[in-house]
Structure formats: structure tokens, C-alpha cells
């Protein structure tokens, strides 16, 4: 069973949420799923993943970051002005508030406070950075996570400040999606501490699964290796998947699962089960 919610953060931003496995909320563990850059909770494999995990007995929360560009139309980017104003720090704050809302019974009475975070691509980085500063996060799983948020050349940054925005093309929708200077300011002010992903991996202190496609062209496999290199090997596992890429052979709209993605789901479920 799934249910939709609208949650207003302490900053007044509205977050759209869908939960799965509501029958599991009272006594079972919770998994919170975070989407990545140009992602959203209803993209491709996210609903299927949430259903899969809820069928394993978890209470699962999926949500849209308030500035991910998705508004009332849950499948299209219609809020490009908000997308442009997004920052990494804002996403960390919002994931933190979702965790807090769960603990404080916003979704229903909770008797088992164990929480796992699952993040894809940039969402994996946000999950790691958030978990570092929260208690009661029991385990983290990253899919295709970046290891560094500073992905821009000095030349690009100069042009960014000159124009006031950095433009990226959404290859799926053919939309130009702008990032304001506020994101660059956030990155440069916090990249060595609050937004340092490898530092977060090194100091996480809880079980971590790093899953990554060996043929990922969007985020190279070497970034998974870098995360693993900095992590505590006694509680971290690197899970490479051969012959698959950034979304593990899945597309949007979702056209069904495949052998590689099934392998990822099974591993993810087993990892959470063993650690939560």
C-alpha cells in the first residue's frame, strides 16, 4: 500500500512524498530513498524499487527535493526557476527534516526507529553527507554515487559567475536547466567540510554499500573506488556490476526490470537485512 503526503519544511518549502508499505511502519525498519540531479521520486526505477523493498517488510519513503524542478505535474520539470535556486546544502537540510519527521511520527507511530538511506547518483552523495551528522541512521546504500560535488572547471566557474547561471541540457526532455550562482557559492564555501563526500565516507561509522555499474558513463566507476578507498573497509562493501551503466539498464518511463537491476535489488535488500 502506498500513500502520498505534502510536507512543509521549516524554511517553508513544500516536499512531495510517497510512502510504500504503510502496514510496516509500526514495527519494521524504514528506508528513505533520495533521487539525484535531474531526478525525481517517480522517475523510472524508483517506484519499482520502493515496492520491492516494501515487499521485504520495510516502510519506504520516496520524496522530491523541493527545488528539483518538479511541481504539480509529478512527471515533468515545470519549476525551472526553483531548480536554478537549488543548493547541495538545501538538499541535506531537507533529507534531515524527512528523517526527523519520520522519527516524530509524522507518517504514523514508529516503534522501530532504525533507518536506512538509499541514494542514487547525487542522491547517494546527499545520503552520505546527511548520515554523517545524524544518529540512528543504521546503514547507507549508494547507487552510482559521485565522490566529488566539485565537477566544474575553473573556466566554467568564471563563465558561471559572469553569466549568473550555468546551463545544463536535459537530454531526455531537451530542456535547458539553469543553475544559479547560489549553488556555486554553496559548493566553494563548503566543499572541504560540509560537502566533502570522501571525508563523509571516511567518518561515517555505519555500514555502507557502494554499488556501481562498471560501464557508467555519467559517473565513472573510479568514483566508487574512491569512496571505497576512503571508507572503513571493515563495515563497507564495494559492489561492482559488470556491463551496465548509470541507471543499470533502466529507463524512464519504466519499461521493466532486467538481470543487472535485479542483481542490484537483491544485493541491496540483503545488505539492509543484514545491517538493520
230-257 pLDDT, tens digit each: 999 999 999 999 999 999 999 999 999 9
Does pTM top 0.75 for this prediction? yes
User: Does residue 133 lie in a domain region?
Assistant: yes
Tell me how many domains the chain contains: 1
Domain span at residue 87 reads 2-152+192-275
The predicted pLDDT at position 136 comes to: 85
**Average pLDDT over the chain, rounded to an integer:** 97
DSSP 212-228: EETT-SSS-HHHHHHHH
User: Does residue 177 lie in a domain region?
Assistant: no
Which of the four pLDDT bands, split at 50, 70 and 90, describes residue 1? confident
Q: What DSSP designation does 22 have? A: G
User: Does residue 161 lie in a domain region?
Assistant: no
User: Does residue 266 lie in a domain region?
Assistant: yes
CATH number at residue 44: 3.40.50.1820
Q: Is the pLDDT of residue 135 over 90?
A: no
Amino acid at each position: 500500500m502506498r500513500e502520498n503526503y505534502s510536507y512543509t519544511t521549516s524554511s517553508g518549502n513544500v516536499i512531495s512524498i510517497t510512502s510504500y508499505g504503510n502496514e510496516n511502519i509500526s514495527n519494521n525498519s524504514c528506508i528513505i530513498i533520495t533521487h539525484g540531479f535531474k531526478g525525481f521520486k517517480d522517475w523510472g526505477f524508483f517506484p519499482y524499487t520502493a515496492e520491492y523493498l516494501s515487499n521485504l517488510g520495510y516502510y519506504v519513503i520516496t520524496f522530491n527535493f523541493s527545488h528539483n524542478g518538479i511541481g504539480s505535474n509529478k512527471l515533468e520539470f515545470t519549476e525551472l526557476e526553483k531548480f536554478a535556486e537549488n543548493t547541495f546544502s538545501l538538499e541535506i537540510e531537507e533529507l534531515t527534516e524527512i528523517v526527523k519527521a519520520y522519527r516524530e511520527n509524522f507518517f504514523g507511530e514508529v516503534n522501530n526507529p532504525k533507518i536506512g538511506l538509499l541514494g542514487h547518483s547525487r542522491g547517494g552523495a546527499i545520503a552520505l553527507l546527511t548520515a554523517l551528522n545524524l544518529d540512528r541512521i543504521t546503514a547507507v546504500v549508494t547507487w552510482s554515487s559521485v565522490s566529488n560535488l566539485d565537477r566544474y572547471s575553473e573556466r566554467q566557474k568564471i563563465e558561471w559567475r559572469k553569466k549568473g547561471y550555468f546551463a545544463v541540457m536535459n537530454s531526455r526532455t531537451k530542456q535547458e536547466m539553469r543553475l544559479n550562482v547560489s549553488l556555486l557559492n554553496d559548493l566553494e564555501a563548503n566543499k572541504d567540510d560540509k560537502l566533502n563526500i570522501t571525508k563523509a565516507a571516511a567518518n561515517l561509522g555505519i555500514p555502507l554499500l557502494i554499488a556501481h555499474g562498471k560501464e557508467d558513463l555519467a559517473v565513472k566507476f573510479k568514483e566508487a573506488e574512491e569512496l571505497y578507498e576512503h571508507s572503513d573497509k571493515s563495515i563497507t562493501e564495494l559492489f561492482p556490476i559488470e556491463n551496465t551503466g548509470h541507471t543499470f539498464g533502466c529507463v524512464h518511463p519504466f519499461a521493466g526490470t532486467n538481470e543487472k537491476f535485479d542483481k542490484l535489488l537483491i544485493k541491496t535488500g540483503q545488505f539492509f537485512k543484514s545491517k538493520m
